[in-house]
Amino acid sequence: MKRMETDVVVVGGGATGTGVIRDCALRGMACVMIEKNDLASGTTGRNHGLLHSGARYAVNDPESAAECISENRILKRIARHCVEDTGGLFVTLPDDDTEYHKRLVKGCRAVGIDYEEIDVSAALKIEPNLNSGVLTAMKVPDGTIDPFRLAASNVLDAKEHGAEIRTHTEMVRCIISGDRVVGVLCRDNLNGELFEIYSKIVINASGVWGRRICETAGVPLTMYPSKGSLVIIDYRVNNVVINCCRKPFDGDIIVPGDTVSLIGTTSKKIDYDRIEELDVDDDEIEVLLAGGEKLIPNVSRTRVLRAYSGVRPLVSRSGDVDGRDITRGIVLIDHEAENGVKGFITVTGGKLMTYRLMAEWAVDLACEKLRVDVPCTTHERPLPGSETPSNRPVPHYFDGISKSVLGSAHYRHGERMDHIFSKDKKSYGLVCECEMVTAGEVEYALKNLCVKDMIDLRRRTRLGMGPCQGELCSYRTAGLFNDLGAADEQTAIRMLKDFFEERWKGVKPVLWGDTLREIEFTYWIYQGLFGLGGVPDEDEPI
Amino acid sequence: MINLENISFDHCIKCTVCTIYCPVARVNPIYPGPKQSGPDTERLRIKNPDLLDESLKYCSNCKRCEIACPSDVRIADIIQTAKWKYSPKRFKIRDFLLSHTDLMGTLSTSAAPVVNRITGLSLTKSAMEAFLNISSKRRFPAYEPGTFRRWYGRMKSEQEAFSEKVIYYHGCYVNYNDHELGKTVVRTLNKLGVGVTLIPEKCCGVPLIANADLPGARKNARYNIQSIETAVEKTHCSVVSTSSSCTFALKHEYPGLLEIDNSAVFNKIHYITAYLSRLFAQGPVPELQPVNLTAAYHAPCHLERMGGVIHTLDLLSNIPGLKIVLMHSECCGISGTYGFKKECYDIAQDVGEELFKRIADAAPDIVITDCETCKWQIEMSTPFRTVHPIMILAQSLGVYTF
Ligand SMILES: Cc1cc2nc3c(=O)[nH]c(=O)nc-3n(C[C@H](O)[C@H](O)[C@H](O)COP(=O)(O)OP(=O)(O)OC[C@H]3O[C@@H](n4cnc5c(N)ncnc54)[C@H](O)[C@@H]3O)c2cc1C
Ligand code: SF4
Ligand code: SF4
């Protein structure tokens, strides 16, 4: 069996894991990150990407609120191309009690969140599509954060500082020697090969899967997985984050996310053995759309693109709690101190937007154990792509490449866009027409951003995430994979099929109206015209 | 920045049929076509208005994409609105001149012979190209001295004697460039027993829309609709127009693109051939002399967009001796003021090339089309005289001779 050695192994390639690996690499440690699927394929890629101002927690959980506002300020600086400083509003719906507004004001003041109470008319000016009957309004420094870009940029920086990244590589179990975890046994999920990585420390950053990882090290971890569902609206029906001003409940927030808007979220406690079943129920969709419509009436006239769900990695370290009332705080466990198992750290809980702080804590602890005396710099060091202020004008490359194409690439990759467009005009041929992904961007992602298949590529670029859900880009992309030597013909065709299966999973719960027409048309092209249904599955012989 | 009214882009299923039908995308590789310029990038512009593509200027607003779209996406409207809504407002003297056809007409007709000479001079043409970006290759429409309205003034009492009357929205072209068409309309209608009334009118706004001055177009629209409403309320007369684009604007661009309510008079406004073919259908059909000509008929895009071609053909089919050769449905390229612009001239000619070839193949005696700018384009680009269908009808009725 193949065997590698390193200082630190990080398990999990979500926001937390990618944050940890970057921090390790920046502090000069030899490190390897393993992710069983793709970057941000877990909970990180399944939320609404709210860059909390902390206001949502200011009333009930001031500790989380304080973490949020502090990280909010940091991320706006270091991750400019992953966050958008949209601003946010808290509004009291016509049927709600304005009492909560006062409590929220008090909470924000206590935590130090820069809120501003404004007239409803001023709120309507900021967000013209807002329900005009709202009773109170207040501005908060909410923003949005793109989890895919965030994970990819952290990994890119880590790689550039010597870290090794292995996606589609699963940790089978910890390797134990005496009272110490000395490494991990891994399986390459692309070819089934097993191998070992020996290390001085293993950091478990596997989110809601953390309990399973801990079990292989023989330590308990009590998780309270809570499923949340969201729906995606075809375009931005709002340009600022809109929150209901009351205790959090289902369907109380609409977040603009790149070209779409997301309505969130439900909250359902689920059994731990069901964390992989991510179905969205009809009643959840109903609740979300009804809630969204109350905030922005136009929601009812808009196409719903998809619905999906994620599982919050909530941990109980003390008593029994469930669902939303649990603290969303960061959980850092030194298993040596807690369970007497050396060389093993778990970091979980928290939020997407507190990933950096979680990583800082975990790596501080690892450094202490390894006697590495290098301080954390991630709070001041910009991610690759965010080096200069985002208001730098989009560079002009050559005539014939339009602003919508350049601007979209810049939005997604920041400064790194310079690596995407070359003088070769082929590089700006459009592959995905909804989200303006070019052949150059596909090639760049394939070479630099750990892309193994088309689904990975979607997470790096937004390819196939627009209204047509892959109708036009997918066959071109499969062709490009083949052209660029990233897949042979049969593999490319299978990727195409897998890509559609993945896309349709999110579309199925919302099959009505224009979404239904779109999918019927896509089905007609790929089944009727291309005969894609005749392609055998992976395990069937061709 | 989200326009609640026109969210038709949301219905686009990305079938790309519109782009196949776009005459500009066919000949100009820099223009990404209606799908990308309309529904695709509208989503991006809502996110960030800076993502407005300069290439939108190549859209000629011919509306052919909208005819093709199976999802009823108002693609051309989205594009014209975007040009105006998201772009930094820059005053361009060229666009101002081209779009204010009424102002230019007023200024030019008083000195028509001089203006015609000047705009025909090659020196002037080069100067216009250098300073105004107006193509030097474009032949300018001639201005006539005086206005059609002035001529009508002398006919007014005669017209009032008719018991049945229509309101004639003559538009800028008839008033400043082609009095003959206006006069022929009056004589034709009179021959059919219908008197002609004029009302206060302004330019319909089509050139303003094309040059991204939606507020200006809206102002004119409001004025025109008010004028029509007042007249219709008083007289209950129908309103006819001999310009397919003016009619399209009055009926469809006003409520659709400009958000001006015309519902009170919508059913009263007709393109002239629709009005006449109904008149003929009611009977009795007047006595018609043979017009022994082979005519190539070109259907203007805007007439196609409002489904009006059938009425012109229907009307012409009454005329004995007239042999119509129907041209393949396509754009002639000029699209109003579009083909005058330096950056669009070649595109306009490339778009029209097929049509010019087909016209030549038909070897007609004459070309018939309903639109004044199509007429300019065809006359400039082929050796054939091009006339409005009314001119043929008038010939058949004996009120006009070629
Ligand atoms: C509906 C919903 C909405 C939310 N909204 C927000 C929000 O708006 N803002 C915000 O800040 N937070 C939000 N959150 C919380 C946030 O999404 C999570 O806290 C965060 O993404 C967790 O990241 P993580 O990296 O710890 O876990 P994950 O993203 O789940 O990463 C864990 C990774 O480990 C991998 N893994 C698991 N087992 C193994 C193994 N054996 N070997 C190798 N790899 C393995 C998984 O594949 C996974 O990719 C939301 C959560 C939910 C559910
Ligand atoms: S209006 Fe005409 S030129 Fe403009 S996009 Fe549509 S078809 Fe093309
Ligand atoms: S024809 Fe209509 S539905 Fe098809 S791509 Fe064009 S706008 Fe979309």
Q: What CATH number did the domain enclosing A25 receive? A: 3.50.50.60
Residue A77: inside a domain: no
As for the ipTM of the complex, it is 0.93
A145 DSSP β-pair partners = A83
Whole-number Å distance, alpha carbon A258 to ligand 1 midpoint, is: 20
CB-based contact B10 A466, cutoff 8 Å: no
Whole-number Å distance, alpha carbon A465 to ligand 3 midpoint, is: 18
The count of other CB atoms within 10 Å of the CB of residue B338 is 26
Whether residue B210 has its Cβ less than 6 Å from ligand 2: no
For chain A, say whether B53 makes contact (Cβ under 8 Å): yes
A438 DSSP β-pair partners = A430
Whole-number Å distance, alpha carbon A313 to ligand 1 midpoint, is: 7
Residue A323's pLDDT is 46
CB-based contacts of B127: which residues, under 8 Å, 6+ apart?
none
Domain enclosing residue A515, as ranges: 403-534
Please check the confidence at residue A398 and state whether its pLDDT lies above 70: no
Residue A376's pLDDT is 98
Residue A398: inside a domain: no
Question: How many residue pairs bridge chain A and chain B with CB atoms within 8 Å of each other?
Answer: 93
Section A166-177 average pLDDT: 98
Q: How far apart are CA A426 and CA A407, in angstroms?
A: 18
CB-based contact A434 B36, cutoff 8 Å: no
For chain A, say whether B13 makes contact (Cβ under 8 Å): yes
Q: Pick the atom of ligand 2 nearest to B33's CA.
A: 5
Q: How far apart are CA A263 and CA A307, in angstroms?
A: 10
Residue B105's pLDDT is 80
Please check the confidence at residue A327 and state whether its pLDDT lies above 80: no
Q: How far apart are CA A81 and CA A302, in angstroms?
A: 28
**Nearest CB neighbour to A433, from listed B11, B29, B36:** B36
The count of other CB atoms within 10 Å of the CB of residue A369 is 16
Whole-number Å distance, alpha carbon A47 to ligand 3 midpoint, is: 31
Q: Are residues A411 and A445 in the same domain?
A: yes
Measured from the alpha carbon of residue B65, the closest ligand is 2
Least-confidence region, from A389-393, A420-424, B269-273: A389-393
Q: How far apart are CA A135 and CA A281, in angstroms?
A: 32
The count of other CB atoms within 10 Å of the CB of residue A2 is 10
**Nearest CB neighbour to B4, from listed A129, A235, A514:** A129
Whole-number Å distance, alpha carbon B14 to ligand 3 midpoint, is: 5
Q: What phi and psi values does residue B341 have, to the nearest 5 degrees?
A: -80, 140
Domains and CATH numbers, chain B: 8-86 (1.10.1060.10), 286-397 (3.40.50)
Q: Are residues A34 and A153 in the same domain?
A: yes
Q: Are residues A235 and A135 in the same domain?
A: yes
Please state the domain count of chain A. Answer: 3
**Nearest CB neighbour to A235, from listed B29, B43, B50:** B43
Q: Are residues A130 and A243 in the same domain?
A: yes
For the record, the structure tokens of A170 come out as 């699963």
Whether residue A39 has its Cβ less than 6 Å from ligand 1: no
CA distances B76 to B42, B79, B101, B354, Å, are: 12, 5, 22, 23
Nearest C-alpha neighbor of B197 from the set B224, B223, B158, B145: B158
Please check the confidence at residue A85 and state whether its pLDDT lies above 50: yes
Element (H, E) at B334: none
Q: Which residue's entry shows tokens 């008319």?
A: A121
Q: Are residues A418 and A521 in the same domain?
A: yes
Residue A319's pLDDT is 45
Nearest C-alpha neighbor of A148 from the set A59, A39, A256: A39
3-state secondary structure of A375: coil
CA distances A35 to A14, A336, A347, B300, Å, are: 8, 24, 15, 61
**Nearest CB neighbour to B2, from listed A128, A403, A468:** A128
Query: Chain-wide mean pLDDT for chain A?
Result: 93
CA distances B195 to A35, B158, B159, B370, B399, Å, are: 83, 8, 5, 22, 15
Determine the residue among A237, A255, A403, A517 to mutate to test chain B binding: the one whose Cβ has the most chain B Cβ atoms within 10 Å: A403
Residue A46's pLDDT is 96
CB-based contact B51 A403, cutoff 8 Å: yes
Residue B298's pLDDT is 98
Q: How far apart are CA B95 and CA A39, in angstroms?
A: 51
Determine the residue among A129, A258, A302, A404 to mutate to test chain B binding: the one whose Cβ has the most chain B Cβ atoms within 10 Å: A404
Q: How far apart are CA A509 and CA A465, in angstroms?
A: 16
Q: Tell me how far the alpha carbon of residue A55 is from its chain's centroid.
A: 21
Q: Quick one: closest CA in A to B40, which residue?
A: A434
3-state secondary structure of A326: coil
CB A91 within 8 A of CB A242: yes
Nearest C-alpha neighbor of B242 from the set B175, B142, B338, B316: B175
3-state secondary structure of A239: coil
Nearest C-alpha neighbor of B212 from the set B81, B397, B103, B120: B81
pLDDT tens digits, A216-265: 999 999 888 999 999 999 999 999 999 999 998 999 999 999 999 999 99
Whole-number Å distance, alpha carbon B342 to ligand 2 midpoint, is: 18
For chain A, say whether B7 makes contact (Cβ under 8 Å): yes
Q: Are residues A153 and A136 in the same domain?
A: no
CB-based contact B30 A404, cutoff 8 Å: no
Residue A317: inside a domain: no
Query: Prior bond to B284 cis, omega within 30?
Result: yes
Q: Contacts of residue A237 in chain B, CB cutoff 8 Å?
A: 2
Measured from the alpha carbon of residue B330, the closest ligand is 2
Residues in chain B with pLDDT values less than 50: 1-3
Residue A455's pLDDT is 97
For chain A, say whether B35 makes contact (Cβ under 8 Å): yes
Whether residue A455 has its Cβ less than 6 Å from ligand 1: no
Q: Are residues A183 and A134 in the same domain?
A: no
For chain B, say whether A178 makes contact (Cβ under 8 Å): no
Residue A541's pLDDT is 53
Residue A321: inside a domain: no
Q: pLDDT band for A401, please (50, 70, 90 cuts).
A: confident
Whole-number Å distance, alpha carbon A44 to ligand 1 midpoint, is: 4
CB A25 within 8 A of CB A70: no
Whether residue B74 has its Cβ less than 6 Å from ligand 2: no
Q: Quick one: closest CA in B to A429, which residue?
A: B32
Q: Which residue's entry shows tokens 């059909």?
A: B285
Q: Contacts of residue A518 in chain B, CB cutoff 8 Å?
A: 13-14
Please report how many Cα atoms fall inside a 13 Å half-sphere around the Cα of residue B276, on the Cβ side.
Answer: 28
Q: Are residues A519 and A423 in the same domain?
A: yes
Q: pLDDT band for A315, please (50, 70, 90 cuts).
A: confident
Q: Are residues A407 and A528 in the same domain?
A: yes
Residue A65: inside a domain: no
Q: How far apart are CA A444 and CA A156, in angstroms?
A: 12
Q: Are residues A112 and A245 in the same domain?
A: yes
Q: Are residues A428 and A348 in the same domain?
A: no
Q: pLDDT band for A212, please (50, 70, 90 cuts).
A: very high
CATH number, residue A240: 3.30.9.10
**Nearest CB neighbour to A259, from listed B2, B11, B47:** B47
Q: Pick the atom of ligand 1 nearest to A226's CA.
A: 53
Whole-number Å distance, alpha carbon B38 to ligand 2 midpoint, is: 9
Q: Contacts of residue A261 in chain B, CB cutoff 8 Å?
A: none
CB-based contact A434 B43, cutoff 8 Å: yes
Q: Are residues A529 and A447 in the same domain?
A: yes
CB A469 within 8 A of CB B13: no
For chain A, say whether B287 makes contact (Cβ under 8 Å): no
Residue A453: inside a domain: yes
For chain B, say whether A129 makes contact (Cβ under 8 Å): yes
Q: How far apart are CA A397 and CA A380, in angstroms?
A: 30
CA distances B378 to B229, B298, B331, B351, B371, Å, are: 36, 9, 11, 12, 11
Measured from the alpha carbon of residue B77, the closest ligand is 2
Task: Report how far apart the first and last C-alpha atoms of chain A are (Å, whole number).
Answer: 31
3-state secondary structure of B274: helix
**Residues in A 193-222 with any Cβ partner in B closer than 8 A:** none
